[in-house]
Each structure stands twice: as structure tokens, then as C-alpha cells.
Structure 1
Amino acid sequence: MRRLALPVTLTMAVALTATAVTTAHAAPADRDHHPRDITRQVLADGDGWGSAGDGTTGGSAAAEEDVVHVATMEELRDAVGPREDGRPRIVVVEGLIDGNTAADGSPLGCEDYAVDGYTREDYLAAYDPQVWGWEDPEGPLEEARDASQDVQAEQIRVSVGSNTTVVGADGDSGLTGVALRVNNVENVILRNLTFSDAYDCFPGWDPKDGNTGNWNSEYDNIEISGSTNVWVDHNTFDDGDNPGSELPEYFDSKYEMHDALLDIVRESDLVTVSYNHFVERDKAMIVGNSDGRVTDRGHLRITYHHNHFDGLGQRAPRVRYGQVHVYNNHYTIAGDLYQYALGAGRESHLYAENNVFDLRDGIGAGEIVYNWGGTDMVAHGNAVMYEGRGRMHGVDLVAEHNAHYPDRQLGTEQTWTPEYVDRVQPVGAIRSLPRRVGAGLL
């Protein structure tokens, strides 16, 4: 497999028509023998970190008897689950599969998962800081909440095995209320699906989270953990009929029933995330889930390209440890949820180039990046658009951050050079990207 290295130094011209572009290479070799069959398409050579190593081919080599169409939760679970022989399989999702559905097809609500006498009303009454104080919840009701959460997890969590492609049959295909896990496996493709609303019926109250306490939830729409060679492409991620903006507040904090849209953690490696639409989630996606997980060093090599990060609050992405290339993405930055887009965390090696940041609601360029204990970040060729002005303007993301947060300075030392990339498009070509991403557009 060819390594297509970018030049070490690229300059950004003030005029966007002269924006620096990575030197183009010959078109990557096509390993896809079924160009019109999206169920058997593979990640092309040179398409991000996911094409490194042995590449990402998913279930493309599956025999015809290992191509399965699924329309229910039980069919999905049986079809995608790990196999001892690792035989390639293709799973085609027909329609919308609801994770909160019993084997007989009947819907399941939060009350169906509650055990040991748990009710939200009793939990709120017991652990109200005005009654309980500011100590961590403990006792029978906290134990009941934890046990109830385990019951829901058993229902909605679905694990994907190695050498698997999961693909939507059409633009109406997707999973709602499902927490899909790509854990400790290799060679997985997820495409052309809408992943909605993996909600937690039993959020836990943490009075010591932040200055005033926070509600914390389990379940990501997708969690990639300890896995290698994964391609996440042309999907839509959202909260479905349960948007965060409509969640109630308890103890003066939002009763957050969602965790992340797409987290990549615990020594996962060689992942490409491309042409996805991520919609209006507070904590969207994280790379590396702990400052103390030093075993992530040398892993978490991820490429994000041609995604639309649309109205997110934070973590698009937030990075620890990994070598993460973020290029040619479109960010729509707006709303009360917004805190930052790119997070430079501990020992992060974040390389951001030729992205467009569409700034609205008075949000400034200095609020795009936030330093979560990082030291350096490389950024060039990026541009901002300000609401009502129309034109794009070149922006130095690190300089804007350092001016806005003088006590959280970032350097610009380049510690690595991105590989496995065919061409970085001029930033002007990214303005139309939101019309070309998400499920149903393959």
C-alpha cells in the first residue's frame, strides 16, 4: 500500500483563491471490484488513516450466504455479532430499527427497564442537593438506578464483529435508540445509515462534575473501542425525536440523556470518518476518554474529512494522545449549546487544515479551539464565514485561540506529517459540502 505523505510545510495565503493545497498524487488504486454495489465497496488506498495497515475492507469478500438483510432488533443483533471464525459478512439494514423494541415487536419504555423500585421522581427527591447535600449519591436508590441502567444496556447495546460491513439499503435506513459498539475487533465498515437517539433512561447525578454538578449518561450512538481499521462514511448522527434542546432541567442542570454521537477510545487505531452529518449534540465526539490512559500513546490515529459538524456544542472532536488529521470539513457553529469545536487535549497531535467554520450568533474565531491541556496544534488553510457577510476569510486558529485565552496558550510545533491522503481540496470548495454528506447520498 502506498503512503501518500503531505509536504511538511504548507502556507496559507491571505486571499482564499490562493489557499495552500496539498500536492495532488495519482488517483488511489481502486480495490473495489463492485463499484456500483455499495454493500461491497471498500475504503480506497490513501483515504485517511483507515486505509493504513491492512486497509479497511469490511465484509466485502462475503459469500452470498453471508449477505443478510435485517429489519428488526433481534435480526440486527444476530447478524452483526462477533463470529469465532471471523468470516466476512455484509448486513443490509432495511428501514428504521428501534432498539427499544422487544423480541415480539412491542415497544419498550423506560418503565420497562426500571427495577428494584427505581423511579425518577424518587431519585430526584432523594438526591436533591438541598436535601442530600453535595456528596455522591449512594444507597438503595442509586443502586436501583445502576441496576436499571444495566437492564436497558442489555437491550439496546449491539456489538459488531470483525470483517463486517453494516450498510443502509436506502436513505430511510437507520438505527434509533441503539448503542452500536465496535469493540476489540478489526476491519469494520459502517455506511449509509442514520444513527439516532441512543438515550439513557437512567442518567446519574454527579454533584462534583463542574462547578454546579451535572447529569451523566451512558450510550453513544457509536462507540469504537480497542478496534483497528474502521471506516465510518456517509451516515447521519442525530437525536431523532428526543433533541437535547427539549430535555428538562433538574438541580439547575440539563437532564442529559445522551452521551456522544461517535466516540473513538481505548487504543483504537486507523480510523477514517468521512462524509457524515453530525447534528445538534452537546458532547459530540471524543478521541481518547481519559488523560490517565497512557496506553493510548501510539494509537488513536484518525482522519476526519468532508464531514458537516452542524450545530454541535463541543468535541468536534476533542483529542487526547492521537495523531488526528481534520481536513476539508464544514462547521456550522451556532446556538446556546456551543462551547468550542476543536479540543486539544493531553499529548494530542491535532492537524487541522482547509476547514470552513461558519460562525453565527455572535460567536468569534477565538472560540473555535480550546486547549484542554495540549501543547501544540498545527492549523493552516482554514477559513471563517461570518453571519451576514457572505465572504470567507483566512483564519489562524491557534493565534485566535491564544488571543482569546491568554492563560491557555498553544504552540504550533509540527510533530508529525499526515499520511494516507490523496488530495486536500481548496477551502473554497468546501462551502457546498453540507449538501453532499449524510445518509442517502451514496
Structure 2
Amino acid sequence: MNRRQWHAHAHVLRGRVAAVAGCAAALALAVTGTASARPAHHGPDPARQVLAARDGWAAYGTGTTGGARADAAHVHTVSTWEEFKAALADGGDAPKIVKVVGTIDADGPDCASFAAPGYDFGTYLKTYAPETWGRDRDLSAEPDDSPEGLRRASQARQDAYVKAYVPAHTTVIGVGAHAGFKGASLQIKGVDDVIVRNLTFESPLDCFPQWDPTDTADGNWNSEYDSVVVDGSSHVWLDHNTFTDGDHPDSTLPHYYGRLYQQHDGELDVVRGADYVTASWNVFADHDKTVLVGNSDSEAAAAVDRGRLKVTFHHNLFRDLVERAPRVRFGQVDSYNNHFVAGPDYSYSYGIGKESQLVAEHNAFTLPEGVTAGTILKKWTEAPLTAADNWVNGHRTDLIAVHNAEVPDENLKSGAGWTPVLRTRVDSPRAVPALVARLAGAGRLH
């Protein structure tokens, strides 16, 4: 046993002795959980750390090592968006490490800089106002020289700027406590073996949302750009990151046609046949449509997604969100030891979608007065789930039973049909709030 292991072992023993001596149970459990987490990721250089064995679905098969085997020529330190994109492109799929220093601005100069010649938002609003255009036809057939066509061209310009494509066998990691991106959309698309750690992501702000008159009875503004997209990729580990709307929460956005001018999409999407993903010790905060696993109910999507979309969420903080933490279609999703803290706009946490096989266990929920436990689950289509040993405001709660009692027309069935085995230590849900508060998010690698 080396010195670090001996200290970790002694730390555990001291926590147990303290518990016997009468210290608060939650604190003792939090200390024990902290010690148990450290050996899973310890190492001299966080940039070369790999995912521990059995640490969620990303540990399956070949595991996830990212750029751990990068040679010196493929270790980059960057502080601008241009440097970051160049570092990702260097060396193709050769193992690489990209270290991010400070906050990198990926927003571009301003929205006007992305506008296509001839685009005018005032003209767009006038042309597609419901009293003029109606609410029974969408804008998909509008020609390229129409206001909608010019909006599409403008959005394509922004798209090319704010997206960065992460290649296979890559680790992207923040240096220190204040590294991250403002307005970036990291695309992990069609590759294998990627690690993203210790970064703060301020959500991209779509300069050119599309109006869809047919989306609900009143229409909706729909936007592009998630902070991180795992698209058709496998073996991806997202760890100790913070996702937030930052300086541009939805409360600061205007309304047009009586609807919120929504300029945010998601914080994390795992879609289009992606597989073997672990999201651990992250903070997802201050957002509406937060995490999506599986992006469509269509048969075309089903052909790609059935048997895939295996994702683990553990020891994450979901704070002041509206919905989708996550919303799940198809895949086998394991969600355990997370803390959900509901805010004033809370709608639901887990969305039960088409053919989903969600296991939600050993989680803690903190709900404000007036928000009931029956809202934690939201049924979209018929799909059974497993939900055991979850605690709501300090009390063990059967989430399925309370949901069915409060929302009888959305009856949920128990039993996801599988049992997760790719877990490291499982902490008591009573300890999870303190544990996650102290250790989750960017700047808190341990």
C-alpha cells in the first residue's frame, strides 16, 4: 500500500470511528464517499487520467482513455477559440490532449457579424406574424431569398463558427478552477474514446431562432446549439464540468408573438446511436431543456438507437432546471447518486420516453414548498422503469407510486428489465447532497 492509498484508507477509518462516536450520519457518509471516489481517478496528471474500471457505461469493453497515450507533440495548451480548433485538428485521430486555460469566447464578435446579406429581423417578424401567416403551416418550404431563407443562411454562418469537432482518442481538460467556454458547442460526432473534464460551459446563444407556428397551438421559437453533443459516438466520459446559462438565463430573453424568444437548446445531448457514455460529478444548472438521451420517436431514429444509448449519470448536481434531467428514449440509462434541486420553474426531472429503460436509484431530491414528489417523473410513452431507494426532502419515497397517485392518467409501470453492474461505490442517498455539493462541478477535480 503506497502513502496516498494509506492516507485514503486511514481517512475512511477515521470517518467510521467518528460515526460510531456519534457524529452526524450524513457527514460520516459524505466523508466515506469522498474517500471512495478518490482512488477511481487519482494520478499525477489529471490530463492523463483514464476512466476507472466499472465506472459507468463508458467503462464497458475497451473502456475510455481519451488522450492518455498522447506523445509530447500532441499535448496542446490553448486560450483562444482559434487555438482550440487548431489543436483538435492537429494530428487527426492520433491521441491528443488539449488543455484549456481561462475562459475561451466562442460567441464571435456579435450576432450581426453572422447575418447573411439582406437578413432583417424586423422583416422576419412582420412576414411571419400569426395574424398574417397563420398557425397552420410551417416555414420549411420558404425559398432561400425569403426572410426564413435568409435566417437559415445566417444560422449556418453562426453554426460554422460556434461548433468545434472533437476527434477520437482526445482529452479536453480545463487547467485550474476557472477554465471553460462561453458560447461553444462541442461536437463529439462519429468518434470513439473522448474525455471532457473540468470545464465550465456557458450555453451558446442562438442568434437566429426559427419560428414554428405549428409547434403547439400557439407556436414556438426553436433554437440550435447544445453545449456538448455526443452524436453517434462511443466511450465518452464527461466529468467535473459545469453547465449553465451564465449571463443569459431565459429570464433575460424577450418575447415575440407572445412566446419566449428561446435562444438556448440543451446543455448535453446524447443522440443518434451514441453509446457507452458516463457523466459523473457534473453540475447542470439554470436551464430549461437540459439533457436529452435519444432525439426522436421516429422509426428512422429507432433503427439507429435501439440497443444503443447506454448512458450512466452519477454524482451530478441538477439545480434550478425546468425539465429533461434527462429525458430518455430507447437506451439503458443508469442514474444513481445524483442530487436534484428544484427551483421555481421546475417541471420534471426524468422524462420517460419511447422504449426507454431507465434505472433511477439512490438519488436525492430537494423540492420547494408547493412542488410534490409526483412531478419528478414525466411519462411521454409507455415504458417501465426501476426507481428504488430515492429520497425526497429527507424521506425515502417510492417515485412511481407517488406519481401514479398524483397523475393517474399517466400510470407508470415498475421494472426496467435490466440491472446495472457498471458502478463503483454507491453512496447512501442521505449523503449525496453534501457529497455532491462539495465535489461536483468544474474546479473540483479530486
After TM superposition, the score normalised by the length of structure 2 is 0.88
Contact between 2:107 and 2:204, CA under 8 Å: does it hold in 1? Answer: no
Contact between 2:342 and 2:368, CA under 8 Å: does it hold in 1? Answer: yes
Amino acid at match of 1:269: D
Deviations 1:131-170 (A, max 9, x none): 2111223350000000000000111110000000000011
State the distance in 1 between where 2:341 and 2:399 align.
Answer: 16
**1:12 match:** none
Q: How many angstroms does 1:28 deviate by? A: 10
State the distance in 1 between where 2:62 and 2:252 align.
Answer: 44
Contact between 1:318 and 1:344, CA under 8 Å: does it hold in 2? Answer: yes
State the distance in 2 between where 1:81 and 1:404 align.
Answer: 52
**2:282 match:** 276
**2:429 match:** 427
**1:389 match:** none
Deviations 1:196-241 (A, max 9, x none): 1211100001111123111100100001000000000000001121
Contact between 2:358 and 2:416, CA under 8 Å: does it hold in 1? Answer: no
SS at structure 2 position matched to 1:431 = helix
State the distance in 2 between where 1:95 and 1:431 align.
Answer: 29
State the distance in 1 between where 2:72 and 2:369 align.
Answer: 52
**1:384 match:** 392
Q: How many angstroms does 1:79 deviate by? A: 0.9
**1:436 match:** 439
**1:206 match:** 212
State the distance in 2 between where 1:329 and 1:73 align.
Answer: 32
Q: How many angstroms does 1:82 deviate by? A: 7.5
Amino acid at match of 2:443: G
Q: How many angstroms does 1:296 deviate by? A: 0.3
State the distance in 1 between where 2:91 and 2:227 align.
Answer: 22
Which deviates further from its counterpart, 230-239 or 404-413?
404-413
SS at structure 1 position matched to 2:431 = helix
State the aligned residue count: 405
Q: Closer, same or farther in 2 for the Cα pair 1:306/1:30, shift >3 Å?
A: closer
**1:3 match:** none
Contact between 2:65 and 2:195, CA under 8 Å: does it hold in 1? Answer: yes
**Matches of residues 214-229 of structure 1 in structure 2 within 5 Å?**
214-229=220-235
**2:22 match:** none
State the distance in 2 between where 1:246 and 1:31 align.
Answer: 41
**1:5 match:** none
Contact between 1:49 and 1:419, CA under 8 Å: does it hold in 2? Answer: no
After TM superposition, what 4+ stretches of structure 1 lie above 6 angstroms from structure 2? 27-32
Contact between 2:74 and 2:91, CA under 8 Å: does it hold in 1? Answer: no
State the distance in 2 between where 1:287 and 1:60 align.
Answer: 27
Aligned partner (choices 400, 403, 407) of residue 401 of structure 1 = 403
State the distance in 2 between where 1:220 and 1:422 align.
Answer: 29
**2:322 match:** 313
SS at structure 2 position matched to 1:434 = helix
RMSD over aligned Cα atoms: 1.9
Contact between 1:279 and 1:310, CA under 8 Å: does it hold in 2? Answer: yes
State the distance in 1 between where 2:165 and 2:280 align.
Answer: 22
**2:347 match:** 339
Amino acid at match of 1:307: N
Which deviates further from its counterpart, 344-353 or 124-133?
124-133
**Matches of residues 357-376 of structure 1 in structure 2 within 5 Å?**
357-376=365-384
State the distance in 2 between where 1:410 and 1:341 align.
Answer: 15
Contact between 1:327 and 1:354, CA under 8 Å: does it hold in 2? Answer: yes
State the distance in 2 between where 1:130 and 1:29 align.
Answer: 60
Matched, 1:119 2:120: yes
Matched, 1:324 2:324: no
State the distance in 2 between where 1:418 and 1:127 align.
Answer: 49
**1:136 match:** 138
Deviations 1:367-421 (A, max 9, x none): 0000010320100000111xxxxxx111111111112221121111231110211
Report sequence identity in percent: 45
Amino acid at match of 1:436: L
Q: How many angstroms does 1:74 deviate by? A: 0.8
SS at structure 1 position matched to 2:76 = strand
**1:258 match:** 264
Deviations 1:228-261 (A, max 9, x none): 0000000000112111121111111110001000
State the distance in 2 between where 1:83 and 1:405 align.
Answer: 54
Q: How many angstroms does 1:53 deviate by? A: 1.4
Segments of structure 2 that go 5 or more residues without pairing to the other structure are 1-24
Tell which has more relative contact order, 1 or 2 (C-alpha 8 A, sep 6+): 1
Amino acid at match of 2:364: V
Q: Closer, same or farther in 2 for the Cα pair 1:420/1:122, shift >3 Å?
A: same
Amino acid at match of 2:163: R
Which structure has greater helix proportion? 2
Contact between 1:83 and 1:161, CA under 8 Å: does it hold in 2? Answer: no
State the distance in 2 between where 1:82 and 1:319 align.
Answer: 35
Q: How many angstroms does 1:100 deviate by? A: 2.3
